[in-house]
Structure formats: C-alpha cells, structure tokens
A and B are shown apart, each in its own frame.
Chain A
Amino acid sequence: MEENLIHILLVEDDLVDQMNVKRAFTKNNIHNPLVIANNGQEALDMLKGNGCQRLNPIPKIILLDINMPKMNGIEFLTHLRKDEELKSTTVFIMTTSNEDCDRFNAYNLNVAGYILKPLNFEKFVSAVATLNNYWKLIELP
C-alpha cells in the first residue's frame, strides 16, 4: 500500500512551517512520504542530483513556499518549468504572500493552486485535507 503513495516534496525554509505541514499530514492520516528542502536551490539539487543523491522516486507533487533564502519559489518554478524531466510536476504554492505579482507569476508558471497560509492551525489542517483529496482523485502523468 505504502509504496503506491506518491512522494511529496516540501520546499520551505521556516522550521515551524515544516513542522506545521508534518503535523497537518499526521492529523489527516496522510502517509505519503514527505521530503523537505530548505530553499529552491536545495530542492533543485535534490531533484537533479547535483552534489547529493538524486531523489528516488522523483516527487510528483511539490508544496512550495515563495519567500525563501538563496532561491525563492518563483525562481525555483522558472527552473523547474524549463527542465524536460521535471516540467510536468504538480506544484502548489503555500505562502503568506498576498502580493498580486507573486500570484500572477505563479499561475503563469502553471501552478495547480495558490494557497495562503492561514494563521490558525485547524484551518491549515483542513486546507491540507482538501489537497490530499485532490491528489488522491487526480491521475498524475
């Protein structure tokens, strides 16, 4: 059963936000393996195997923060969409940024959804439950 679950990559620099996603997974009984990268550059290296072991299997879904050190979410997305192997990855933005330009840029780079991180943990748990229902429903490439 477990081996059929798609792997998910979380790109997030804030430790508490990383824990937030892990806790929301636990609360919703989501057992998909969750890999964490601390910024866009680290995520790209992990996906390409640059200077580290390449992720295997390659995560089909990425949860992506926007404001991060080194390489931010939008820059990461730009690289991802140019990469033949990775360009079809389903990406959800999870951010606090309510800036129109971030939203605009993200959708132009074909994100599956743009989610504003709610302040309250319960709301976040239900947002993650919705995401889980979504990726259980759809057929990925």
Chain B
Amino acid sequence: MMENSIEILTERLKRKTEEFDQFIYIVSHDIKAPVRAINNLVSWIEDELEPENHSVNDYFTLLKNRVMRIESMMDALTEMSRIKRLDLEISETDVRKLINNTLDIIPFKKNIKTVIGEMPVFRTYEKKLFKVFSILLENAFRFHDKENGTICINCHDKGDNFEFELTDDGPGIHEDYHQKIFTMFYTLSSKDVVETNGAGLTLAKNIIEFVNGKIWVQSSPGAGSSFFFTWPKTIINKLN
C-alpha cells in the first residue's frame, strides 16, 4: 500500500517536472519573437538617425546590449528545459580530445596555458560532458584577471565515478559565494563589466545532476579557483 502511494507520487512528480520543462521551453521560445522584433526596430531607427548625436548613439548601444542579454537569458532557459530530452546519445568519449575541442572554440584571446593530466576514454553522454567542460573552461578564461595564467585539468578515479578537477589561477571566489554562483543568472561582477548571462554554472550543475553527479568549488580570493565535478563511469539509461 505504502509503496503504491510512493509510486503514484513519484509518477506525479515526474509528470509535473516534465510539464514545468515544457512550460519553460514555450515561454522562453515565444518571448524571443517580440525580443527579435525590438532588436530589428532598434537597428532600423539607428540606421535612419542622424549620426551626430552621441548620447543617443550610446543609448542605442546599451539598448541593443540589453536586448541581446534578454535573448541570451532566454536561450539559457530553453537549454535548461531541454537537458532531459536532448543530447542523449551515448558514445565512446575521449575526454582529452573533448577538452581540446572545447579549447578550440573558446572565444577569448587571452594568454592562458592549459595543462591536461591523464584523461579517461569511456562511453557516456559526450555532448553533455562537452557542454560542462565548455562552461567551466569558458568561465576560467572569461573571468581571468591577469596577463598570463594557467588552467590545470585533472581526473581522479573514484570507483563508480570519475572526479574531474579544473584549477585556475584567476581572481578566486570568496567562500560566501560558493553556493550562490550556481544560482540561475547570478553573477559576481556587474554584467556590464564582464558580459555573461549568469546561467553557465546553473546549466552545468543541472547537467551534472542529471547524470547523478555533483559539482562544487574550492576557492578563496587571490588564490584561484578549483571546480570539481563527479561523472559516473556508466550511464544508466534514463529513457525508461
């Protein structure tokens, strides 16, 4: 009897979660259409405007930037709502290669060296692991505050899981924020100083939790940051 009601509740919870994801998807997708329209109208007004008025030009730059920010936040929400249903192919994954592929597409030109330790090759959700690495590495590049830097990536065997570690020598994060940085859209510096939508770590956390892994940070100001996450060696098929 007891077991039965737990089953019913689990089923109901599962359905609610699916509904919620669907809701987020529709909202984030449908809001994008008027956002795009605003963006178009802004660039047309700009086109037809007298170019001398500097303050108006500045306002336009800000306006366009804010529109871009809405779009980027909407994209993040859409992506979040699709974690459970997209990129579920399991394939042979060479983690070293995957990290190098990530580094190839990092959009920041900074003088940062990467040192990659021994990495496993195993069957997993390659695209999901790729996403996690690209978020963490992009952050390490984006927020790095010095001329030169190093990022070390290592992997530790923890029985059923791999534990990946990414250590940078960037600005570091005060202990007060070690939890908060995983909150959706939360950022430590103004979004005008470092352009980011504040969704990366939340997305990474959601992906990692989807595979039953964990993510945490060890860091203090001035001492760089180490991000750790666990990832199971075997994926239990979630489709059923």
Binding site for B on A (CB under 8 A): 14, 16-17, 19-20, 23, 67, 96-98, 117, 119-122
**How many chain-B residues does the 8 Å CB contact rule pick out?**
15
Q: A14 contacts B37, CB within 8 Å? A: yes
- Please name all residues of chain B whose beta carbon is closer than 8 Å to the beta carbon of A14 when the two chains form the complex: 33, 37
Main secondary structure of the interface of B (DSSP, over half): helix
- Please name all residues of chain B whose beta carbon is closer than 8 Å to the beta carbon of A16 when the two chains form the complex: 37, 40-41
- Nearest A residue to B71, CB-CB: A119
- Nearest B residue to A120, CB-CB: B39
A55 to B33, CA, bound (A): 29
- For the complex, is B29 an interface residue (Cβ under 8 Å from A)? yes
13 A-B contacts (beta carbon < 8 Å): A14-B33, A16-B37, A16-B41, A17-B36, A96-B29, A96-B32, A96-B36, A119-B67, A119-B68, A119-B71, A121-B39, A121-B40, A121-B44
How many inter-chain residue pairs (CB < 8 Å) link A and B? 34
B21 CB to nearest chain A CB (Å): 14
Q: A119 contacts B36, CB within 8 Å? A: yes
A67 to B41, CA, bound (A): 21
A20 to B67, CA, bound (A): 17
B35 CB to nearest chain A CB (Å): 7
- For the complex, is B43 an interface residue (Cβ under 8 Å from A)? yes
Q: B71 contacts A96, CB within 8 Å? A: no
Q: Which residues of chain B from 16 to 39 have any CB-CB distance to chain A below 8 Å in the complex?
A: 29, 32-33, 35-37, 39
Q: A121 contacts B43, CB within 8 Å? A: yes
Q: Most chain-A Cβ atoms within 10 A of its Cβ — which of B33, B35, B78? A: B33
A125 CB to nearest chain B CB (Å): 10
A121 to B46, CA, bound (A): 12
- Please name all residues of chain B whose beta carbon is closer than 8 Å to the beta carbon of A119 when the two chains form the complex: 32, 35-36, 39, 67-68, 71
- Please name all residues of chain B whose beta carbon is closer than 8 Å to the beta carbon of A117 when the two chains form the complex: 36
A96 to B33, CA, bound (A): 7
A119 to B44, CA, bound (A): 13
A37 to B162, CA, bound (A): 56
- Please name all residues of chain A whose beta carbon is closer than 8 Å to the beta carbon of B41 when the two chains form the complex: 16
A16 to B39, CA, bound (A): 10
- Please name all residues of chain B whose beta carbon is closer than 8 Å to the beta carbon of A20 when the two chains form the complex: 40
- Please name all residues of chain A whose beta carbon is closer than 8 Å to the beta carbon of B78 when the two chains form the complex: 98
- Nearest B residue to A23, CB-CB: B44
- Nearest A residue to B64, CB-CB: A120
- Nearest A residue to B30, CB-CB: A67
- Please name all residues of chain A whose beta carbon is closer than 8 Å to the beta carbon of B67 when the two chains form the complex: 119
A98 to B41, CA, bound (A): 23
